[in-house]
Structure 1
Amino acid sequence: MVDSEPLVIHGLNKTFNIGQTSLKVLSHINLRVEQGEFITVIGPSGCGKSTLLKVIAGLDGEYDGVVKIGREEIHKPGVDKGFIFQEHRLFPWLTVEDNIAADLSLRNPLVREKVRDLIRLVHLEGFEKSFPRQLSGGMAQRVAIARALLRDPKVLLMDEPFAALDAFTRAHMQDVLLDIWEQNKTTMILVTHDIDEAVVLAQRVVIMSAKPGTIRSVVPVDIPHPRKRSSNEFLEVRRDVLAQLETHMLQHTEQ
């Protein structure tokens, strides 16, 4: 039996030094994400959502406090942390299967088999030899997701990965992502500005307020998948998240 390896953030503070000025962007962040949990993070622009993801990913190791997965503190990138950006960032000169393999060789039978499994997982059978220019935006992001999953990361971090997609493709990609999560049970943390997206995906919605970024509240979403956006349960949670966002923004404006 594999020991549970939760992500634990305790007393996280992050400051950027710009010339002679210090700008505190994250303040007293405390959060525990259980292994296999899916959470979304939402808040106003400038509240430090992306910075929080980069700290968890090890892309920004200069901070105060504790950020760890299991017993291992995070201060640098590693294969145990997958990261997906808003842009797919595929290599245009590589095919789908080569982009997923990244720096590993498809000549290795184990790599080739894993890439084949991931292509099935993200529903891209038949596009193995295609180049990024031949893919739609949603398909390109599916390649990016598969690439991030290649080394079986303990946590998959996503910074508004569907923001540039049209509404229909975005909804489809949310379904694809849920399907992947339900099959793999990878711990997932997704940053979004979209309240519906936050509620339709997550087991918990983390709400942040800005300047400096702080976790103001965490809303549980106890609705079974698949979730209907028109259901009373969904609309009730959506109203709760929206009301808390508006309250925090109003409090910030009055300060």
Structure 2
Amino acid sequence: MTAKLRIEDLTHTFKGTQDIDVLDGLSITIRDGEFVTLLGPSGSGKSTIFNLIGGLIEPDQGDIFIDGKRVNGTRGNISYLPQQDSLLPWRTIEDNLVLVQEINGSVDRKRARKWLKRAGLGGYEDSYPNTLSGGMRQRVAFIRSLLSPQQLMLLDEPFGALDELTRLDMQDWLLKMWETDRRSVLFITHSIEEAIYMSDRILILSDKPAKIIKEIQVPFERPRHHDITLEDTFTKLRREIYLLLREGDSQ
């Protein structure tokens, strides 16, 4: 598979009364159709990495390539799904879905309704966000991301605000939707179990200034079911990652 995202030797420091070194020579490659997760201590720079990829800030050193094109400091190259759904309360569900299409100048309401039906939300086109549950709103937000033309998706703890049962349900749902439209995904979570369950690869970050201390290839085949969380291989991998995170947090 070819590289969808390539980060080379990324270094970044936040300047202020006391400079904070956030990234230290970070390099990452994500291939077409791959689901990769970043795991690291709180404050280790995961969101900064997303901001750099999205062009909101520029790195002090290093380069970011998407589809082989250097994109340092440029926007509009990625699809982004944050922890909060960010749906506009005054727009209907369908109007929220086509918002990205409006920005890109090509609205396809038929496609939006098709994806809503596929997501189990058929009949909610004219509803407003405040009438939907948290899980339903996150489904809408994810479908909105799929309707954008960018083939690289950054998912920043999209299930963090959900209760545990809804979170497990959303994990299965998102993987099912992703299987039908395999875009390249870079995923942030603080849950070791979620990282193992969702990912093809997991990148373990040290505390800041962040660097990758280990890359883990997840051994489970797709499609996945939550029964794998009971397997010995899953338990051993979870323990290995836990110890790596403890090690990274102490560096």
Q: TM over 0.5: same fold?
A: yes
Identity %: 35
Quote the Cα distance in structure 2 between the aligned partners of 1:109 and 1:85: 24
Quote the Cα distance in structure 2 between the aligned partners of 1:219 and 1:144: 29
**Residue 43 of structure 1 corresponds to which residue in structure 2?**
40
Which of 48, 71, 77 matches 2:75? 77
**Residue 242 of structure 1 corresponds to which residue in structure 2?**
242
Is the alpha carbon distance of 1:188 and 1:101 closer, same or farther for their aligned partners in structure 2, counting shifts above 3 Å? same
Kindly indicate whether residue 88 of structure 2 is the aligned counterpart of residue 97 of structure 1. Answer: no
Conserved? CA contact 2:152–2:185, under 8 Å? yes
C-alpha deviation, 1:109, in angstroms: 9.2
Conserved? CA contact 1:47–1:214, under 8 Å? no
Structure 1 SS opposite 2:177: helix
Conserved? CA contact 2:101–2:147, under 8 Å? no
Which of 13, 16, 19 matches 2:14? 16
Quote the Cα distance in structure 1 between the aligned partners of 2:164 and 2:158: 13
Conserved? CA contact 1:15–1:63, under 8 Å? yes
C-alpha deviation, 1:5, in angstroms: 4.4
Quote the Cα distance in structure 1 between the aligned partners of 2:8 and 2:23: 12
Superposition misfits of 4+ residues, deviation over 4 angstroms: none
TM-score of the aligned structures, taking structure 2 as reference length: 0.92
Q: Name the amino acid aligned to 1:92.
A: P
Structure 2 SS opposite 1:92: coil
**Residue 195 of structure 1 corresponds to which residue in structure 2?**
192
Unaligned runs of 5+ in 2: none
Quote the Cα distance in structure 2 between the aligned partners of 1:203 and 1:62: 27
Kindly indicate whether residue 26 of structure 2 is the aligned counterpart of residue 29 of structure 1. Answer: yes
Q: Name the amino acid aligned to 2:57.
A: D
Quote the Cα distance in structure 1 between the aligned partners of 2:124 and 2:42: 36
**Residue 134 of structure 1 corresponds to which residue in structure 2?**
131
Q: Superposition RMSD on alpha carbons, in Å? A: 1.8
